[in-house]
Amino acid sequence: MRDEVRALAKAGRWSDLAGLADRRRPEIEAAEAEVAWSIAEALVRTDRVPEAIALFSRGLAAPRASADERRAGLLRALPLLPMAEIDRLCAAIPGGDLASIRIDLIRARLSAVLHGEAGQAVAPADLAAFQAYAEAAPDPNQAALVARYAFKRSDLPEALSWFKRAVARGGDAMVAHGLAHTLLRIGLRREAEDVAYAWREPLVNNALLFIDILERDLTRAVPPAIEPERLRRYAEMTAATASGEGAQALA
């Protein structure tokens, strides 16, 4: 059973896996925790979320489930279920079992807030714990998550600091896009322009932002002084992106 379930999950054959669970329910209920988590994922991915939540709940509350198995189940559920459901699952688990995955849970809550999930907020102590983790983590995505959360709260100095960290650690063009928008919100237009231009090729949104920044300056009643090199690269980008607004601003 375990090998069959594992193979179907690895292949992403979620409908087949959900069908297997329907046909062999007694075996599934008696199987080890890993099987239950895979079946629960299959149920989520085949739009049977209430059944998946019920299976996660039973598996996590099972007397035979070890702390490691409960943690594995929660980690499996994190990317699949709304944070409100994760909170309900966590409430049935001894608090000590969750200590080693605290950062994972905070990360998921930060993401839930960024995605506008209703009723979600990050406690100050949790934010501080994640910031300390992100400060030490080489992965730029951790710093970028803190930056995006700060930007959403309009804490622009904090967002700027964390976006700069993320870019310095190898963050991608989307991270640079966040940095450019933060600089723009702060009023550092020239710096935002330079960041957007530097990251124009990996992400077209950066090219469009670059054009928009200069376009606003060029179409003012009294345009500021703009160096020839900046005008050259602006003209180059408007031609490359076929921007009608940009071409009009140059006219």
Residue 200 exposed, middle or buried by CB count within 10 Å (0-12, 13-18, 19+):
buried
Mean pLDDT of the chain: 93
Torsion of CA 138, 139, 140, 143, to 10 degrees: -80
Range 239-243 average pLDDT = 73
Structure confidence by residue, pLDDT tens digits, 74-109: 999 999 999 999 999 999 888 899 999 999 999 999
In a domain, 241, yes or no: no
From residue 165, give the alpha-carbon distance in Å to each of 38, 152, 158, 170. Answer: 37, 17, 11, 9
In a domain, 1, yes or no: yes
In a domain, 249, yes or no: no
**pLDDT at 2 (0 to 100):** 86
Ramachandran bin of 187, using left for φ above 0, alpha for ψ from -120 to 50, beta for the remaining angles:
left
Neighbouring CB atoms inside 10 A of 221's CB total: 4
Structure-model confidence comparison of residues 107 and 246, the more confident one:
107
Of the listed ranges 30-34, 71-75, 107-111, 179-183, the least confidently predicted one is: 30-34
Structure confidence by residue, pLDDT tens digits, 2-30: 889 999 999 999 999 999 999 998 888 78
In a domain, 41, yes or no: yes
Number of structural domains, the chain?
1
In a domain, 149, yes or no: no
Q: Which two tokens stand for residue 136?
A: 């030490």
Q: Which domain holds residue 69?
A: 1-108
In a domain, 139, yes or no: no
